[in-house]
């Protein structure tokens, strides 16, 4: 009887939470809800063995020392952005070429929040992880359990991973800031920052007090007969399971209807109680999504249309000069602080000195600023005023503001450069980039700490970070033993970062994190990259001659080679991340061409790597197999001429099974 009563109470409370937080249609009065909750809590205290993870009483939270990394079972990708109708039609044309004419679409409002992945086993919520870099995130399950719009138990016992966006309603954000201001505590810049700060509290009882919610936007079902064959049906099924789906999701027959949806929400969005910065357009057919596949960073079957950013005028107080890791001198506008798109802006990009000349920006001007993609503020116009005419035209510098070296231009570029390798700002910029999230991801080492370490002669380059001791950190102003330990430990942990991060951190010209990932998927060690010929690098899809030249030259520079040897001696010698299930295809090189029927080429490539093989973008005498789908092109012809073995998709799958 006791177990039956507990199950009844849990179901009633979960149903009430769903009605209140998801459907926004209260099912019980506050008094009735409190009575049921108190009875459940009392019974669980009396019979602790009957307390289960899906119980509503488990939402209260607890205190954790840290969040632990968790590798996503299914990678989370970013989205490519579009900003006008022409770009949308270009994307749609590419979709139609692959999947046929008049492909139907699904439009969803792009929620400005924090992306997370939720895992359910037999309908029970077991894990919640932040997006992180898409491959690895942080396990914040305890905190997510406090978000009442996230069901702890689904209405059906299915296995599913659901992606969603945690957000804080605008009204709750304003209330939180008012309360914090009254208490003299931190005031958040915008709802997204408030949501992110709240969900990542080590003390999840604080998270429980914040009014957070979620909209889910995609899912991966496992072992479900008759799983939804379209994205829209999948969203409706998620709603049926008990998830909060945005009510403004719309099924569109074509791009014209999608554009109509975008125009409709361009102004209506301001009436919503949550922040949205665009519309996500997705191909509806799951089969077509699988055919289209992914690039290295984003799905080819979806794109995000970004709404025009807000614009506002303010006064330009000064122009500050920053020296980057490459020596490029970047002018930055120092502004009279102003509220723009939900946050206070006091600095804005001026890009380069040609842009200053084009706009005729003068110190003291009234300027129009906007947020590029609603993230980076930039000056877009000088307002025509009488005051402008009386101000002195801005003259570009000829000397580096940090080291007084002469500034130079480079052929084909508009930037000015400081080429003094010992320039203090340039060195600190290189170190700041090294520790950044996109590079070696070293927590607790910020610009202020780097400046103290550099000016105190503790470091003169990124390599020196790995020579620091706890005692070195203890000598810095305001650093106590715990902080020193955290900084020292963060540096030691970074020695285990994957090769793609190290290649990014090295700051090779023209090589960002995405290109670094492409290169390290082909060359899985520093020695392999060092020994790669220019043409081998250039043949990697997405690299090309210019990037290949940069990598080749970097790894054939004596100073750089000495630095790499020093890093190796200090314990940093990572290899690429390769998840190998077997060695069935060990040492074999595959080239993929044409359209496969049962999987995307990306999925086939992953299977090859998981079984010990490798892929190449071009056919040569060293190619072992060409996996050819429908409409295979010149690669198939070249393989036939060279006598390379050509596999059908069925033959390839049989090879994986029995090779």
Please list the active-site residues. Answer: 110
What lies within 8 Å, CB to CB, of 71 at 6+ separation is 135, 136
Residue closest to 320 by CA, chosen among 337, 335, 332: 332
Using CA atoms, how far apart are residues 608 and 509, in angstroms rounded to an integer? 31
**Sign of torsion over alpha carbons 76, 82, 85, 88:** negative
Q: How many angstroms separate the CA atoms of 435 and 413, rounded?
A: 27
* 366-to-254, 313, 318, 360, 481 alpha-carbon distances in Å: 44, 7, 12, 12, 48
Alpha helices of 494-579 — where are they, by DSSP H? 499-505, 513-522, 526-531, 534-538, 544-554, 558-569
Integer Cα distance of 642 and 589 in angstroms: 15
Q: What are the contacts of 245-250 at 24+ separation with CB within 8 A?
A: 245/215, 245/216, 245/217, 246/108, 246/109, 246/111, 246/215, 246/217, 248/108, 248/109, 249/106, 249/107, 249/108, 250/106, 250/107, 250/108
Give Cβ neighbours of residue 419 (< 8 Å, ≥ 6 apart).
327, 405, 408
From residue 102, give the alpha-carbon distance in Å to each of 280, 523, 535: 18, 41, 41
- Return d(Cα 394, Cα 12) in angstroms, integer: 69
State the DSSP code for 184.
T
Structure tokens at 97: 């070429």
Q: Which two three-digit tokens encode residue 81?
A: 């952005």
Q: At what angle do helices 191-199 and 170-183 cross, to 10 degrees?
A: 70
Distance of alpha carbon 22 from alpha carbon 572, whole angstroms: 48
- Taking the C-alpha atoms of residue 451 and residue 455, their distance in angstroms, rounded to an integer, is 6
Phi, psi of 589 (to 5 degrees): -110, 130
- Tokens representing 344 are 């206070």
Report how far residue 236's alpha carbon sits from residue 257's, in angstroms, rounded to the nearest whole number.
20
Q: In this structure, what DSSP letter does residue 462 have? A: G
Residue 96 φ/ψ, nearest 5 degrees: -65, -35
Tokens coding 613: 């093989």
Give the DSSP per-residue string, 327-345: SEEEEEEEEEEEEETTEEE
Identify the CA nearest to 118 among candidates 73, 78, 79, 53: 73
Give the Cα separation of 2 and 392 in Å (integer).
83
Contact indicator for 302, 281 with CB cutoff of 8 Å: yes
For 38-150, list the strands marked E by DSSP.
68-71, 81-82, 105-111, 114-121, 124-130, 136-139
Residues 6+ apart with CB under 8 A from 550: 508, 509, 510, 511
């Amino acid at each position: 009887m006791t177990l039956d009563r507990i199950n009844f109470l849990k179901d009633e409370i979960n149903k009430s939470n769903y009605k209140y937080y998801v459907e926004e249609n209260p099912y019980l009065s506050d008094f009735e809800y409190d009575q049921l909750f108190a009875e459940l809590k009392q019974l669980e205290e009396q019979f602790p063995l009957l307390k289960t993870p899906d119980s509503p009483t488990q939402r209260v939270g607890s205190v954790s020392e840290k969040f632990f990394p968790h590798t996503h079972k299914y990678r989370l990708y970013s989205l490519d952005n579009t900003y006008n109708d022409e770009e949308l039609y270009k994307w749609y044309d590419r979709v139609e070429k692959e999947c046929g004419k008049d492909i139907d679409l699904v439009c969803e409002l792009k929620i400005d929040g924090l992306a997370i992945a939720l895992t359910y086993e037999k309908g029970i919520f077991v894990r919640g992880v932040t997006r992180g870099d898409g491959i690895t995130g942080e396990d914040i399950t305890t905190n997510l359990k406090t978000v009442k719009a996230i069901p702890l138990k689904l209405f059906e016992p299915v296995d599913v991973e659901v992606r969603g966006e945690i957000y804080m309603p605008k009204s709750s954000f304003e209330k939180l800031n008012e309360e914090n201001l009254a208490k003299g505590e931190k005031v958040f810049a915008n709802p997204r920052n408030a949501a992110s700060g709240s969900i990542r509290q080590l003390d999840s009882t604080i998270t429980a007090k914040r009014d957070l919610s979620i909209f889910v936007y995609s899912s991966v079902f496992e072992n479900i007969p008759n799983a939804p064959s379209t994205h829209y049906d999948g969203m409706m099924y998620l709603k049926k399971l008990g998830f909060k789906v945005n009510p403004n999701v719309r099924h569109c027959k074509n791009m014209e209807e999608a554009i109509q949806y975008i125009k409709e929400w361009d102004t209506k969005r301001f009436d919503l109680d949550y922040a949205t910065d665009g519309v996500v357009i997705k191909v509806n057919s799951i089969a077509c999504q699988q055919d289209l596949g992914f690039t290295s960073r984003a799905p080819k079957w979806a794109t995000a249309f970004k709404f025009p950013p807000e614009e506002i005028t303010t006064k330009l107080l000064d122009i500050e000069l920053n020296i980057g890791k490459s020596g490029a001198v970047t002018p930055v506008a120092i502004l009279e602080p102003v509220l723009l798109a939900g946050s206070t802006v006091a600095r804005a990009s001026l890009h380069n000195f040609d842009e200053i000349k084009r706009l005729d920006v003068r110190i003291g001007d009234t300027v129009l600023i906007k947020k590029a993609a609603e993230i980076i503020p930039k000056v877009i116009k000088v307002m025509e005023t009488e005051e402008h005419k009386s101000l002195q035209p801005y003259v570009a510098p000829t000397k580096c503001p940090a080291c007084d070296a002469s500034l130079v231009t480079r052929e084909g570029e508009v930037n000015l450069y400081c080429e003094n390798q010992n320039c203090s700002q340039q060195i600190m910029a290189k170190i700041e980039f090294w520790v950044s999230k996109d590079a070696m991801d070293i927590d607790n080492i910020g610009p202020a700490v780097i400046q103290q370490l550099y000016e105190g002669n503790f470091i003169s380059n990124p390599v020196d970070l790995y020579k620091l001791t706890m005692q070195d950190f203890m000598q810095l102003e305001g650093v106590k033993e715990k902080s020193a330990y955290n900084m020292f430990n963060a540096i030691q942990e970074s020695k285990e970062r994957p090769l793609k991060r190290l290649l990014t951190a090295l700051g090779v010209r023209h090589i960002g994190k995405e290109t670094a990932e492409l290169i390290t998927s082909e060359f899985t060690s520093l020695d392999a990259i060092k020994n790669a010929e220019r043409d081998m690098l250039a043949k990697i899809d997405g690299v090309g001659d210019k990037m290949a030249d940069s990598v080749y030259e970097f790894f054939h520079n004596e100073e750089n080679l000495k630095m790499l040897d020093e890093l190796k001696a200090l314990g940093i010698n990572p290899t690429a991340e390769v998840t190998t299930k077997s060695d069935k295809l060990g040492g074999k090189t595959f080239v993929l061409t044409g359209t496969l029927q049962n999987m995307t080429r990306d999925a086939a490539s992953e299977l090859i790597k998981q079984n010990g093989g490798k892929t190449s973008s071009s056919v040569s005498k060293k190619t072992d197999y060409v996996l050819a789908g429908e409409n295979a092109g010149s690669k198939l012809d070249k393989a036939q001429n060279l006598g390379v073995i050509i596999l059908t998709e069925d033959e390839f799958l049989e090879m994986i099974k029995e090779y």
